[in-house]
Structure formats: C-alpha cells, structure tokens
Amino acid sequence: MSEGRVGETKGLFIVVSAPSGAGKTTILRKVLKICPNVLFSVSYTTRPPRPGEEDGREYCFVTEEAFRERIIQGEFAEWEEYSGYLYGTSAKTMKAFLEKGFDLMLDIEPRGAKALKKNYPGGVFVFILPPSINELRRRLNQRGSDNKQVINERMNRVLDEIREVVWYDYVIFNDRLESAVDQLRSIYVAEKHKRERLAEKIQDFLV
C-alpha cells in the first residue's frame, strides 16, 4: 500500500473522537492494521491499565504526580481530565514524527481534540457515531451498572460529547464495522492527496 510513505512531505495527523460505546477503538485498530505506515500516537494517562493493555502500546501509564509535572514542564500538546483521570498527548513526540514525514492517528476526547485543533492547525478531525442514540444507550447499559442514576449520568456525559460533532471535519456512523473502517481509511487517503499537501511535490514536478 503506497499511502503514508515517509520522507516526502511533513506528516499528516488525524484525530479520531467518539462517545463511549461507538466502537472507536476497534475501528482504529483495523485501520492501523491495513495502513501499516500510519502510526498510532500513544497518549499518557493516569488511569490504571485495563486487562490486556500494555504500557506504551495503548497508553503510557503514569502516576498523577508524574503527569502533573509534565503539565508544568509544558510537555503536552493537549491534556484533559476525563472520568477522574488525566489524559495527554506528548508535543515532543508528535512534532518529531510529523517532521520526519510520518502520519499519525490520535485517539482523543472532544475537549482535548478542540485544544489540539486550536494549537496545531492542519490536522484532520473525525467523529465516530453509533447507528442511533437508542443503540448507544443499549451498549452503555451493557457496561456493568444497574444503577439508573449512574446510567443516566453516563448518558448525559455522552450526549454532551456528541454535541461537539458540529466542528469536526468528518463524521462516520458506525452502523457496520467494515464500512466504518473503509470510510476512515478513505478519509486518510483522500487527505493525503489534497493539492495543498502536495504543493512542494507539484512544484518540483513543474520545474
């Protein structure tokens, strides 16, 4: 597969956001598998690893003290608190990969994505939605709590996230997994071939 070759121009970064239960993690894993030259930007977090997660693969797991020290040192391109834990993207790592021509995909919640859009122009922002609100509610209800208040609070938080969709560049409805995967891959391929991203190469061609 030719897309995502390094060393030609500055790398492209795509930020993917979604409410809990929309299937974002599964979609990202599949896209990264079929686009091996696209790297996953591993964020820092203070939450404990879930079963099957590895430090440095899904996240860099750090203590809250270590995370806040990184905030003081200005090491994050964006950071946020979500569900009682801190999440952040390393500015140094992101800049290094992009300047070397690598393309990145980032898994970031809407608040952090908005901060990244403000501070790092040129990115592509994609929001993944479930097929319907009812389906989303069903998925959230399956996540282990029978407490109606907890479920309602979770749903309200998710609806607040969904309202952020208005400023994203692209929206994918995950009503069929393989279709959603193909749509995200197609967004990446199309963005790589935008004229403005190839301006330097076009100029060399015309000389």
What are the Cα distances from residue 63, in Å, to 53, 83, 182? Answer: 16, 16, 37
Assess if CATH 3.40.50.300 describes domain 13-41+102-206.
Answer: yes
For the chain, the domains span: 13-41+102-206
pLDDT tens-place string over residues 136-165: 888 777 765 567 777 788 888 889 999 999
Contact indicator for 104, 11 with CB cutoff of 8 Å = yes
Provide the sign of the torsion angle of the four alpha carbons 58, 120, 190, 171, taken in this order: positive
- The Cα-based distances of 139 to 18, 55, 117 in angstroms read 14, 27, 29
User: What's the pTM value of the predicted model, to 2 decimals?
Assistant: 0.88
pLDDT digits (tens, 9 = 90+) for 51-77: 999 999 999 999 999 999 999 999 999
The tokens describing 201, both together, are 């190469």
pLDDT tens-digit readout, 163-206: 999 999 999 999 999 999 999 999 999 999 999 888 888 888 89
Mean pLDDT is lowest, of 17-21, 35-39, 138-142, for: 138-142
